[in-house]
Amino acid sequence: MGTDPFRTDPSGWMVRFAPLVRPGGAVLDLACGGGRHARLFLDRGHPVTAVDRDVAQARLAHGAELIEADLEDGSPWPLPGRRFAAVAVANYLWRPLFPALLATLEAGGILLIETFARGNEAFGRPRDPAHLLDRGELLRLIGDLTIVAYEDGILDGAKVVQRVCAVSGPGPAELPR
């Protein structure tokens, strides 16, 4: 359920909030798919760790640290003790990972998530409720992070998503427009 390996353009949500990531801070691209978000952050000068169960598809992530890991098979978290200035997740949902994701954020770290929500069944895949957020669920999953922006609804008339930009600790003083 990672990002589409054939898409090359980064999500507008990721582009909008990428400037909030600490300059030079390490970024984790979880379920990186083809590496489009790894490429976004690499091009912005960030070291990137890209994780997916099939990193061979991550052709856009050239220059990133690639870690092949099945995040859903019960194996230990592949990044124990590592901290990141940002964690980016697009089109992927595995609820049991949220405690590990939140623990990887450094103080002031940015969490960027955009994934599918209930109602997406009317537009296509995914349709399985296990891969669709309930109304407001993303806010509950991220706990006490400071919300910078949150959206929940139909995107481009083509899918239903929830997406959040949140900060570990106090929110940023200046937001990108």
Q: Which tens digits make up the pLDDT trace of 53-95?
A: 999 999 999 999 999 999 999 999 999 999 999 999 999 999 9
The answer to whether 79 and 104 are in contact (CB under 8 A) is yes
Instruction: Give yes or no for residue 177 having a pLDDT over 60.
Output: no
As a whole number, mean pLDDT of residues 149-163 equals: 92
In this prediction, residue 3 carries a pLDDT of: 43
In this prediction, residue 176 carries a pLDDT of: 53
In this prediction, residue 2 carries a pLDDT of: 46
Give the CA dihedral 117, 108, 102, 4, nearest 10 degrees: 50
In this prediction, residue 130 carries a pLDDT of: 87
pTM for this model (two decimals)? 0.91
Instruction: Give yes or no for residue 170 having a pLDDT over 80.
Output: no
Q: Give residue for tokens 């599918």.
A: 116
Q: Which domains are seen in the chain, by residue range? A: 12-167 (3.40.50.150)
As a whole number, mean pLDDT of residues 137-162 equals: 94
Distances (CA, A) of 89 to 27, 95, 122: 11, 12, 23
Distance, CA of 47 to CA of 28 (rounded, Å): 9
More confident position, 119 or 7: 119
